[in-house]
Chains A and B, each alone.
Chain A
Amino acid sequence: MQASAILVIDDRIAPFTASDSDLAYKGRTTGGRGPIASTEIFGESLLDRTVKRLRNAGIESVSVVAGPGVGPNLPKLRASFRRIVTERSYERWPTAQQEVIRQSAQGVRTVLMIGVNAYVEWDVRHFLDFHRSTGVPLTQLHNAQGPLDLWAVESEWFGTAAIGCTLPFRYGEFPGLPVPCPIDGYVNRLASAGDLRRLVQDGFLCRCEVRPGGGEIKPGIWVEDGALVHRLARLVAPVYLGSWTNIGASAVVTRFSNIEHHSNVGDGTIVDASSVLPFTELASGLEISRSVVEGNTLVDVRRNLALCIRDPKLIRDTAPVTRWGAPSREAGRENGTLGFACSSFFYRAAGRLSEVLFGD
């Protein structure tokens, strides 16, 4: 066996900025939201895409070091990668270190160590060829903005000379290492909600390999299986609707918005230049603009502000206890979807008042 990959997933919660992560974390519902690696864009997570890229390059041995909430969302892939669960985030890189030593004993020559926290389009074969051609034991991927959490490591060297090092690798720990391998492919570091929105827009505009899934029912409108769109709802291209989404009457979804699977948009709600992540329910009569909504947390991209909304009659997390299962639509309705219709009275009243006062 020549090369393998070890993917390390930290607990950075998507899609929040560092400054707002504390608020976002405290406000999380018990349904639980995964790290940024498991955030799904166009029906596929960052972890999915990374594993696929490795598989396409012929790397069959893939290990994922993650927390307990990550992994089962890969039904097609989980049978063929080794999943190592560590409860605490700080234990993940030392665990990866032990995994390199284990793989070295099994005869793996080169190990790709990847921190799954950014979307990177890179040529795996080219990176391995570059690493081997330099003849050094440690190579790191770089783009124009700086180093990325992607290393190629010689497992034999790692098991001897680098046994006491701290991971992820830091510059200066080993003289002259790691050697940078420059790439000019598409990179999105997903450091904030704005970056996540940029990735969605770039996907719609074909600037990267991320593409909306499902069928393109009209130019620029992609809809996955099981999505329900009310006949009075308006979809203005480009938009993406994931599987089992429900768009209510008179709702408007527009301007590069993506509604991920099992999410509901209430009657009359406007989703404009926003991302609604899986298992999110928006009540009737709302206006979501330039935001990322995940569960009961809304991130305003313009203000760079994460806000936990505790009122379930506005925004609600509908993630089931076994989040990665496929909940029935009837179950969703029993949870109170219809209750939102009652609250729409006041928002219609607001609209009327607005018309009377300001002639909107």
Chain B
Amino acid sequence: MTTCRTVMVKEMPESVTLNCIPELWRELVVLFGRDWPCLVLDFSAVRELDRAGVELLLRTMEEVVKRNGDVKLAAVSPQIAVILELTRVDRLFETFESTSDAVTSFTSFPFAAVNRNTDERQTYGIEPSRG
């Protein structure tokens, strides 16, 4: 686990499955057990995610939101992204390509989101309003 300013980065293990959930939960409780927690879950090493892992993410989000914080995911592999989409939790979390992007997003204006929206408008041929 590494700490960068007030944003905490938690490196997730290779397997986020039922067997390792209790230990992982204890570690996460320590991280978000204060006000305004800013948490980045680094998924770069994760190869396996099951329903219990998804529930862990939901509980983490729930607890963090209670404390007016936010959780973001970083370096999610395509395989894990499929699981997140399948279980419909992908829309709850902001995901970033790298941990540094996720950490930066807590302190900077989300230009990436703005650019993405602009790209979508161009893709669908919608002219931005001039009014």
Contact = CB atoms under 8 A, between A and B. Distances in A.
Interface of A: 283, 285-289, 298, 300, 303, 305, 307, 309-311, 313-315, 343, 346-347, 349-351, 353-354, 357-358, 360
Interface in B67-86: 78-79, 81-83, 85-86
B92 interface: yes
Nearest to A300: B82
Contacts of A313: 50-51
A250 to B, nearest CB: 13
B60 to A, nearest CB: 11
Nearest to A283: B51
Interface of A is mostly: mixed
Contacts of B26: none
B100 interface: no
Given A315-B86, A347-B88, 19 more contacts: A287-B87, A287-B88, A300-B82, A303-B82, A305-B79, A307-B83, A311-B50, A313-B51, A314-B87, A343-B51, A346-B55, A346-B58, A349-B58, A349-B62, A350-B58, A353-B58, A353-B61, A354-B88, A354-B92
A350 B88 contact: yes
B116 interface: no
A283 B86 CA distance: 10
B82 A307 contact: yes
A347 B87 contact: yes
A281 B52 CA distance: 18
Contacts of B8: none
A283 B54 CA distance: 14
Nearest to A287: B88
Interface residues of B, number: 23
Contacts of A357: 65, 92
A287 B54 contact: no
Contacts of A307: 79, 82-83
Contacts of B79: 305, 307
Contact of B86 (A287, A305, A346): A287
Given A343-B51, A360-B91, A314 B86 contact: yes
A303 B85 CA distance: 12
Given A305-B79, A310-B48, A346-B55, A285 B85 contact: no
A305 B78 contact: yes
